[in-house]
Amino acid sequence: MKLPLLLTAALALAFACSASAQQPAPPPAKKSTVKGEITGGLPPDARQLKLGDTAPDFKLLGIDGRTHTLADYKSAKLLMVVFLSNHCPYSHAAETRLIPLAKQFKAQGLEVVAINPNSPDSVRLDELGYSKYNDSYDEMKLYARDAGFPFPYLYDGDHQVAAKAYGCLATPHVFLFDQQRKLRYVGRVDDSRFEDPATVTKHDLRNAVTEILAGQPVTTPQTIVMGCSTKWNHKRDDVAKADAKWKSEPVALETIDAAGVAALAKNTSNRLRLINVWATWCAPCVAEFPGLVALARRMSTREFELVTISMDDPKMLPQAKKFLESQHAVPSARLKGLLKAEGRTATNFLYTGASADALVAALDPAWPGPLPHTVLIAPGGKILWRHNGAVDAETLKDEVLKHMGAFYLPEQKR
């Protein structure tokens, strides 16, 4: 009778190991006993790593195609585990100091391992306004290439075992371990959320690295963590709710004449204004429209506005509105508030003038005439970019981000 029991136990153990998806289990969750301690909304099966704790193991796929573990870095005198993401402007800014720091101290024994903790399915479209990329594994490769990462970049978005084991509150979040892999510094890279290094007044991470290498205690071993909250798997429901809310908003379509178009082209707002001229009978217009709406949603937290102008016959206004409704072409709640303050109520218009010449003169004299036609207009009325014909959604997104940038900007530089 003993053999069947042993066999049953062995099979159960094998099944349990395979179900772990080859991921090391996170340490058991710890409840904070420190009054007022920030937990950052960690899942119940996560822990908040404390100073002096040993670095948790990980087993994660890197963008180099191989699986990385903590043991791969056992020879490092100092090990930095830093949680970064493709989409976060805080992370983008911190990386402009983190990358030079990693290069500078590598010869002195510092190894840096970056981990993306985010579930790409839990990132709302309006959270991607500062990046060309989502947080998927494939897009990590592109982002790291563009940013020039000199260190491994590992994906934890599916199971988030490492994020839970370390207690990743946001991106960026730094964990610095000594040669015995004891946590000596935890927190931010520095105190600035901007790209410009001149805005940094506290070089917390750099100081900690320097002090540990010199055999000194870390003066400031823990700092606050500022950045984009970790996109846990359970936040997928929030994405679905945001999508449903957007689709439930009513669509407005108003008529406009050449004088109205000229006023829009002057762009007296503080926003970049993307104006697209289209028609329901124009196949390329219809084909490119979903990309325009997606871009408007993506940039809805930034100083950006999509304006559409239909060239349909005014008698076809109901048909044009029906198409806009099918595309959910609505301004965000934030933009609606700005429009109301400016005395406007719509971003979708139908041109009523008989003369196309008047429309061309009002919007863009360089427009050759065919539809669709798209212009990107800066505050003050300068056309930054124009395109005649259907525009690829990725090309358009890149063009807008080129002018708006991937970082938070100090007010004086806006």
Q: Report yes or no on 293 lying in a domain.
A: yes
Is a pLDDT exceeding 50 seen at residue 1?
no
Q: Report yes or no on 131 lying in a domain.
A: yes
What pLDDT does residue 411 have?
A: 60
- Are residue 58 and residue 204 in the same domain, yes or no? yes
Position 34 confidence tier, pLDDT thresholds 50, 70, 90: very low
Q: Are 255 and 317 in contact (CB under 8 A)?
A: yes
Q: Report yes or no on 31 lying in a domain.
A: no
User: End of a domain among 205, 237, 269?
Assistant: 237
Distance CA 124, CA 122 (A): 6
Is a pLDDT exceeding 80 seen at residue 205?
yes
Distance CA 328, CA 343 (A): 23
Distance CA 414, CA 378 (A): 12
Three-state DSSP class for 290?
helix
What pLDDT does residue 410 have?
A: 84
Share of the chain above pLDDT 90, in %: 88
What pLDDT does residue 60 have?
A: 98
pLDDT (mean) for 249-260: 97
Closest by CA position to 83, among listed 49, 50, 117, 53: 117
Q: Are 284 and 385 in contact (CB under 8 A)?
A: no
Look at the block and give the residue holding tokens 């940038």.
405
Share of the chain above pLDDT 70, in %: 89
User: End of a domain among 193, 209, 237?
Assistant: 237
User: End of a domain among 217, 237, 257?
Assistant: 237
Instruction: Write out pLDDT tens, residues 327-373.
Output: 999 999 999 999 999 999 899 999 999 999 999 999 999 999 999 99
Q: Report yes or no on 28 lying in a domain.
A: no
- Are residue 280 and residue 206 in the same domain, yes or no? no
Q: Report yes or no on 48 lying in a domain.
A: yes
Distance CA 284, CA 404 (A): 26
Distance CA 292, CA 2 (A): 68
- Are residue 56 and residue 191 in the same domain, yes or no? yes
Helix (H) or strand (E) holding 404: helix 393-404
What is the pLDDT of the chain when averaged over all its residues? 91
pLDDT (mean) for 225-234: 95
DSSP string, 295-329: HHHHTTTSSEEEEEEE-S-GGGHHHHHHHHHHHT-
Q: Are 99 and 147 in contact (CB under 8 A)?
A: yes
Per the model's pLDDT, the better-predicted residue between 170 and 24 turns out to be 170
Q: Are 114 and 140 in contact (CB under 8 A)?
A: no
Is a pLDDT exceeding 70 seen at residue 33?
no
Cα 176 from chain centroid? 25
Is a pLDDT exceeding 80 seen at residue 378?
yes
**Cβ neighbours of residue 35 closer than 8 Å, sequence gap 6 or more:** none
Per the model's pLDDT, the better-predicted residue between 409 and 319 turns out to be 319
Q: How far apart are the first and last CA of the chain?
A: 78
- Are residue 288 and residue 385 in the same domain, yes or no? yes
User: For the whole model, what pTM was predicted?
Assistant: 0.88
- Are residue 189 and residue 275 in the same domain, yes or no? no
- Are residue 231 and residue 286 in the same domain, yes or no? no
Distance CA 238, CA 125 (A): 11
Q: Report yes or no on 268 lying in a domain.
A: yes
Q: How many helices (H) and strands (E) does the chain have?
A: 12, 15
What pLDDT does residue 409 have?
A: 86
- Are residue 85 and residue 227 in the same domain, yes or no? yes
Residue 335, domain CATH: 3.40.30.10
Instruction: Write out pLDDT tens, residues 385-399.
Output: 999 999 999 999 999
Distance CA 75, CA 179 (A): 8
Q: Report yes or no on 53 lying in a domain.
A: yes
Round the CA-based radius of gyration of the chain to a whole number and report it. 26
Look at the block and give the residue holding tokens 């099918």.
326
- Are residue 206 and residue 280 in the same domain, yes or no? no
- Are residue 265 and residue 124 in the same domain, yes or no? no
Distance CA 120, CA 124 (A): 9
Alpha carbon separation from 51 to 217, 218, 351, 396, 401 (Å, rounded): 12, 11, 64, 46, 39
- Are residue 106 and residue 167 in the same domain, yes or no? yes
pLDDT (mean) for 112-127: 97
Closest by CA position to 257, among listed 354, 181, 188: 354
Domains of the chain: total: 2
- Are residue 205 and residue 258 in the same domain, yes or no? no
Residue numbers of the domain that contains 335:
249-404
By mean pLDDT, which of 23-32, 179-188, 270-279 is the weakest? Answer: 23-32
What pLDDT does residue 46 have?
A: 96
What pLDDT does residue 40 have?
A: 55
Is a pLDDT exceeding 90 seen at residue 42?
yes
Is a pLDDT exceeding 70 seen at residue 239?
yes
Q: Which two tokens stand for residue 409?
A: 């900007």
pLDDT (mean) for 122-146: 97
Distance CA 370, CA 385 (A): 17
- Are residue 232 and residue 255 in the same domain, yes or no? no
Q: Report yes or no on 32 lying in a domain.
A: no
Position 137 confidence tier, pLDDT thresholds 50, 70, 90: very high
Closest by CA position to 346, among listed 360, 322, 329, 359: 329
Q: Are 321 and 329 in contact (CB under 8 A)?
A: no
